[in-house]
């Protein structure tokens, strides 16, 4: 029922060609993958799936098509990127890497599997130890060994929470890092300010 309600709410926009853009990879990828399994043959679900983009996919595609006008970026430095499991399994982190690089960052993707959070799994008392052990396999050591000037980036909310809980370090969403890299004076949108 929630899948059908979501499709009913989004389909009128998708059918008009309005992109459905989201910040949380698992939410957008559920629209593109699981909803098609839950609503097989549903043309409206297919329209929503075709119009659904992660934030990074949408911005990267728009930038590469020249549709962002004269947006200027001043990103500098290194980024350590940890992709969300759902993202890595279905689409990879290439769009995230491309747009961060376009903004001026030197991006390194962490060679790690799941952060261990798996949605709410890591917050459940009976799973906390397993969740932490998963993070400690590769992700947490990579974060701890990273230079303090390197920006930590993770598109998934649960991944950012796990990084903070296990290492004490704060990871940002790619949108936050891109926002920091914008040169407001060069923006084609006079309303854009970082005040």
pTM greater than 0.75 (yes/no) = yes
118 contacts 131 by C-beta, under 8 angstroms: yes
User: pLDDT tens digit string along 39-65?
Assistant: 999 999 999 999 999 999 999 999 999
Q: What is the pLDDT of residues 87-125, one digit of tens each?
A: 999 999 999 999 999 999 999 999 888 888 887 788 888
**CB of 96 within 8 A of CB of 81?**
yes
Q: d(Cα 174, Cα 186) in Å, to the nearest integer? A: 20
Name the nearest CA neighbour of 158 among 13, 29, 25, 33: 25
- What are 95's two structure tokens? 């769009």
**pLDDT band with cut points at 50, 70 and 90 for residue 186:** low
Residue 195, pLDDT score: 47
For the chain, the structural domain boundaries read: 2-64, 78-180
The answer to whether residues 81 and 93 touch, using CB atoms and an 8 Å cutoff, is yes
Q: Give the Cα separation of 85 and 88 in Å (integer).
A: 5
> CATH: 1.10.3470, 3.30.310, 3.10.450, 3.40.50. Which one for 78-180?
3.40.50
């Amino acid at each position: 029922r929630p899948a059908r309600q979501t499709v009913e709410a989004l389909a009128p926009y998708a059918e008009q060609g309005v992109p459905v853009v989201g910040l949380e990879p698992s939410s957008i990828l559920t629209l593109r993958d699981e909803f098609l399994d839950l609503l097989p043959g549903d043309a409206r679900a297919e329209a929503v799936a075709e119009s659904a983009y992660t934030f990074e996919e949408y911005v990267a595609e728009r930038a590469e098509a020249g549709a962002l006008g004269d947006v200027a970026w001043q990103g500098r430095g290194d980024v350590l990127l940890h992709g969300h499991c759902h993202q890595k399994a279905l689409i990879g982190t290439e769009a995230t890497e491309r747009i961060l690089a376009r903004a001026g960052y030197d991006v390194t993707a962490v060679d790690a599997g799941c952060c261990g959070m798996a949605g709410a799994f890591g917050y459940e008392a009976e799973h906390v130890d397993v969740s932490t052990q998963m993070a400690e396999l590769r992700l947490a050591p990579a974060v701890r060994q990273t230079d303090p000037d390197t920006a930590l980036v993770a598109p998934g909310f649960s991944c950012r929470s796990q990084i903070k809980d296990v290492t004490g370090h704060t990871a940002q969403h790619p949108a936050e890092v891109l926002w920091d890299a914008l040169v407001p004076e060069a923006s084609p949108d006079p309303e854009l300010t970082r005040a």
